[in-house]
Structures are given as structure tokens and as C-alpha cells.
Amino acid sequence: MKVAYVDTSCLVAVAFGEPQGRGMASRLEEFERLLSSNLLEAELRTTFQREGVGETPEEMEKHLSRFLAAINWIYPDRRLTPEFRQALAHGILKGSDLWHLACALFVAPDPQKIDFLTLDAPQRAVAERLGFSV
């Protein structure tokens, strides 16, 4: 089974027709299972609100559900200290990027078992150093 962890940057690119969005949409379809932290929903919601997607709350929910329906959510049941340390040993990251990588490591302690999809260059570099296929 092909599994990928999805960072918010991927869905934002698809949703707003960014140059890398078309390729990312095709790439997402290659996987049987897409995983992410619910931080993705928070980040996508704030982006949609900032950009004025949907004139009513119902319209925004419709747009959001289009992008979130395929995601299988990861809910860590403990502190992610070991995963934070592991990721930070490979580079400097923003807090949200660290959280996404730590959640991916939580669900796949062997990073070679899943892909990590991101359009964020620093996050991608750390994911590669950790052993994820990106």
C-alpha cells in the first residue's frame, strides 16, 4: 500500500492553482492512503479565510471538505519529544513544519515506509535527511 504524509503546503498549492499545484494533485492520486496531523486543517482553514474562499461558512466548509475528505488523521497520544529531537538533529525548522515531521515519524518510525509530501524547501530537506521519500 502506497502511503504518504501530506503537509499543508501541498493542499494550498492545489487549492489555489499555484504553479506546483497541478503536479501535486497528480502526485496525491498515486497514493492509496494520505495521512496528516489535524494541524493541516487549521492551517488550511486560516488560509481559506485569509484568501476569502467561500462567501458563507457553508461554502467554506464545502471547499474544505473537498480537500480534507481523503485525509486519514494522526492523533498522537503522547508527547512527541523523541520525534522532535530526531527531526531537529537534521536541520532548523519552523514549529509547524517540525510538528508535521514529528507526526509522520510517530506513525512511521521507519521513514522509508512512507512518503512525505511537502513544497516547503527546508522541511523537504529535513524529511530527506530523515530518510523519507519526498
Mean pLDDT for 111-127 is 97
- Per the prediction, the chain carries an average pLDDT of 96
**What pLDDT is attached to residue 57?**
86
* pTM summary value: 0.94
pLDDT at 56 over 90: no
**Dihedral Cα 61, 116, 73, 41, nearest 10 deg:** -30
CATH code: domain 3-130 is 3.40.50.1010
Note the pLDDT tens digit of each residue in 14-33. Answer: 999 999 999 999 999 999 99
Which residue from 92, 97, 89, 95 is spatially nearest to 131, judged by alpha carbons?
89
Residue whose entry in the numeric block shows the C-alpha cell 510517530: 106
